[in-house]
Amino acid sequence: MWIIVLLTVTISAMTLAEHWRSPNLKSITSARQECASYLRIPDDAIEQIARGGYPPEASVPKLVHCMLINLNAWEDETGIKDEVMRNFFRPAESDCCFENRTQLCLQKTVSVLTKCDNLNRAYNSFHCYYRHFGNIFHEGQFIPLRENSVHQIVDEALAIENIPRASLEELCNDNALNVPEFPDILYTIFVRAGVYSPEHGVRLGRLYTQFGKREFLSLETRQCVDTVWRQHCSEPNRLYQTFKQCLTHLVPTISLVGESARKLLKTPICASRGLPTTCRHSPAPIDSCTSCGVPGVSCNGATRILTFFEGPFDQIALSPTAVTANKNTLRYLLLNPKSF
């Protein structure tokens, strides 16, 4: 039985590691197929719609609207996200006017529609890229994280590293660069978000897709990143120095970590590393950790970890004791799937 349990833990950890190792990649084709299943559109009809260039038939604007939301390339309030949408099209090398044509199309066909006409605004926006930007690029592209997912990754990074209270207080004051644990926090965040790997370094194109700042694509930023990469060889210091010297003004990591630290200090969480496994707000051990967010579970260090992992970790059927015993192993597997 113990062999089965160990095998289950290993497979689950490897799956979890691979999930974060390979970030969310999607193509227009995969988004179309996914939306077709949501909207109950038959496969033959979907193929006909694609071959016909997404004609303005009754079901097509709703399909396209779903596709763009699926790719995180559209917001009903703000419209198309150019930094995301451009990844799915490849202009001809000799075409130097594709961006101007696309923007002019958006002005003529989208800006004239009412704000509430979400389906047709999305449909017309898609067609501007489809007709004027370039040919559809069928390989999977990086899908930017939504705001709630970004906050979850930051929260989980602090949970994984099990930050002591003194460091949390420094993080609260946005003094992250001076916190000893910050390089590990930063490494966990960037790897899990899919914008860094030890093999490829910082993915500036993905950071641009995530935040939409042109500075990520500038020659100055690229030269800075490449210089730091050559000067430092060990992780997480290599990423930390890259962040410190090249990226602090471009990504909101320090403020996000500070916000997460403030939440931790305000929430009755379980004791920090090296302290008794009782909740800080309780003078004595308790059997149920309802106040810590996990009803019916002993209030130990593992509960604190599991409380933050509302995403992938809630699929792993482990006891708190097992998680505590294997915390470092799971973290290693999470960030180093190729070790197998």
Delineate the domains of the chain, giving CATH numbers in brackets. 1-24+145-284+310-340 (no CATH), 27-142 (1.10.238.20)
On whether the CB atoms of residues 20 and 338 are closer than 8 A, the answer is no
Q: Which of 238, 236, 237 has its CA nearest to residue 336?
A: 236
pLDDT in the model for residue 72: 97
Are 123 and 65 in contact by the 8 Å Cβ rule? The answer is yes
Taking the chain (340 residues) in runs of 10, the rounded mean pLDDT of each run is 43 44 82 96 95 92 97 96 96 93 96 94 97 94 95 95 92 94 97 92 96 96 96 95 97 96 75 35 33 35 37 38 43 45
The pLDDT score that the predictor gives to residue 132 is: 96
Strand partners, 136: 89
8 A C-beta contact, residue 74 and residue 65: yes
**Distance (Å, rounded) from C-alpha 284 to C-alpha 278?**
7
Q: Is the bond preceding residue 236 a cis peptide, omega within 30 degrees?
A: yes
- What pTM was computed for the model? 0.71
pLDDT of residue 266: 85
CA dist 182 and 172 (Å) reads 12
The pLDDT score that the predictor gives to residue 253 is: 97
| Nearest alpha carbon to residue 87 among 194, 212, 226 | 212
